[in-house]
Amino acid sequence: MTETEPIVFIVDDDDSVRKSLTRLITSVGLKVKTFSSANDFLKCDPYDGPACLVLDIRMPGLSGLDLQAELTKAQRTVSIVFISGHGNIPMSVQALKAGAVDFLEKPFDEQALLDAVHLAILKNKSLRQAQTELNQIQKRIESLTPREREVFSLVVTGMLNKQIAFEMGISEKTIKVHRARVMQKMQAESLAALARMAEKADVYP
Amino acid sequence: MTETEPIVFIVDDDDSVRKSLTRLITSVGLKVKTFSSANDFLKCDPYDGPACLVLDIRMPGLSGLDLQAELTKAQRTVSIVFISGHGNIPMSVQALKAGAVDFLEKPFDEQALLDAVHLAILKNKSLRQAQTELNQIQKRIESLTPREREVFSLVVTGMLNKQIAFEMGISEKTIKVHRARVMQKMQAESLAALARMAEKADVYP
DNA sequence: TAGGATATGGGACTTTGGTCTAATAGGGGA
DNA sequence: TCCCCTATTAGACCAAAGTCCCATATCCTA
């Protein structure tokens, strides 16, 4: 597994802002890709790696907040640092409540922006990691047959095969069969590992 | 276990604001307690139940943000809804980054405030619940002897007693003894339950 | 209609975990 | 000095889980 390089996306309709941001961010060795509108960014291929988005609030067409909403809807995980020339409090509140990493006013302190970008990349990395892990677990759960899923959810509560058999009204022998398949399909080498997966996938109420 | 009643604390130096807020919030059946300064609130006994704090930003003495910082430092879990007459973007950003539930500008929409308060109470409830659960688990972990803790962390990775014994260079028999004590002290009725506790307490890297 | 996936079970066997009793040994506090 | 906690181990035994190999009965699809 190669460590993918982080990319900083910049979406701002102002050409000079894009240029100065690019200069600033590339100066610390980060890769940059710029877009002059939210729609351009939405049209581009979702980047499969740690990504940060430096996003202007006020733009013709889709606004920064609109873009944020679209990305959330499309389940594209980018960590956003907002920059605004004429923002207001409700905007900043909405942005942060929707998960933005920071919200800076123009003219911003260069170091503050770089800090925010680095933090966003870090957060994005761990977010992506947690997400892919969860996806894998859920995909495995989907590969279970209905009966296996039933056994799975009872097993991870700590019930004995005997008890599960009674609960489901079938033989303990059959539970063993299902259970073995669950362990195999979930790729769990131990009950402890299975329980951890269940915990992450929120199988418990 | 009796369900403790939620309380809405109001901290604002303006008498008339306190009064109108109290009227509004009690009108939906919530209990209210008011304070005219941040220090007064800090001096009062930490309430052990779901709590929401409606907090003014600008006040003589400690500001709302100062109070938020103090509460965080003191590990007092209250969910905060900020209200501000003369706030600005950096303030709102700081407040939300520090975990505030909402940040409303005066004059605020009454329904918006009530919604925020209700949301804050909900969040506070689940926060408190997760916290007390975590505390219990950590207290139990602390009650383990060093050797037991070692066995604990190896057990929850799914290792067999035999493997743990080899890893620790002692007899499998001893592992069984430690393991039994771990289950007892952690109040886990099954390996699955133990693994879930370990997951919550972040025993894994 | 043949084959695959699913669900169900039995028999026989091994490994693993849990429990009970009992014992030894060192460190530290009353 | 004596007792408690901690750590260590043994033997005996039972319960639980996992693993073979096997068989039957659906249901759905190619």
- pLDDT mean values, one per 10 residues, chain A (205 residues): 85 97 98 97 94 97 97 96 96 98 96 98 97 96 97 97 97 98 97 96 81
Question: DSSP secondary structure string, chain A?
Answer: ---PPPEEEEE-S-HHHHHHHHHHHHTTT-EEEEESSHHHHHHSPPP-S-EEEEEES--SSS-HHHHHHHHHHTT---EEEEEESS--HHHHHHHHHTT-SEEEESSPPHHHHHHHHHHHHHHHHHHHHHHHHHHHHHHHHHTS-HHHHHHHHHHTTT--HHHHHHHHTS-HHHHHHHHHHHHHHTT-SSHHHHHHHHHHTT---
- Strand C: list positions under 7 Å from protein Cβ: 5-11, 16-20, 22
Mean pLDDT of B140-160: 96
Q: How far is the CA of B82 from the C1' of C7 (A)?
A: 58
CA distance B111 to chain A (A): 16
Say if the Cβ atoms of A190 and B96 lie within 8 Å.
Answer: no
pTM value surpassing 0.85: yes
Q: Which of B92, B189, B195 sits opposite A196 (nearest CB)?
A: B195
CA distance A47 to chain B (A): 27
Q: How far is the CA of A184 from the C1' of D30 (A)?
A: 28
pLDDT tens-digit series, residues B81-134? 999 999 999 999 999 999 999 999 999 999 999 999 999 999 999 999 999 999
Say if the Cβ atoms of A158 and B190 lie within 8 Å.
Answer: yes
B177 touches strand C (CB under 7 A): yes
Say if the Cβ atoms of B192 and A189 lie within 8 Å.
Answer: no
Contacts of A163 in chain B (CB under 8 A): none
Cβ-based neighbour number of residue A45 at 10 Å: 5
Q: Which of A90, A159, A189 sits opposite B158 (nearest CB)?
A: A189
pLDDT tens-digit series, residues A89-144? 999 999 999 999 999 999 999 999 999 999 999 999 999 999 999 999 999 999 99
CA distance B93 to chain A (A): 7
**B69-76 contacts, C-beta under 8 A, 24 or more apart:** B69/B98, B70/B38, B70/B42, B71/B42, B72/B98, B72/B99, B74/B42, B74/B46, B76/B46
Question: DSSP secondary structure string, A14-45?
Answer: -HHHHHHHHHHHHTTT-EEEEESSHHHHHHSP
Phi and psi of A141, rounded to 5°? -60, -40
Give the per-residue pLDDT at B203: 86
pLDDT tens-digit series, residues B4-28? 899 999 999 999 999 999 999 999 9
Mean pLDDT of B50-58: 97
Give the per-residue pLDDT at B202: 87
- Strand D: list positions under 7 Å from protein Cβ: 5-11, 16-19
Subset of residues 16-45 in chain A with CB less than 7 angstroms from any atom in strand C? none
Which of A86, A91, A96 to substitute to test the interface with B, most B CBs within 10 Å? A96
Say if the Cβ atoms of A192 and B158 lie within 8 Å.
Answer: yes
B83-101 as b/e: b if 16+ CB within 10 A: bbeebebebbbebbeeebb
Confidence of residue B204 (pLDDT cuts 50, 70, 90): confident
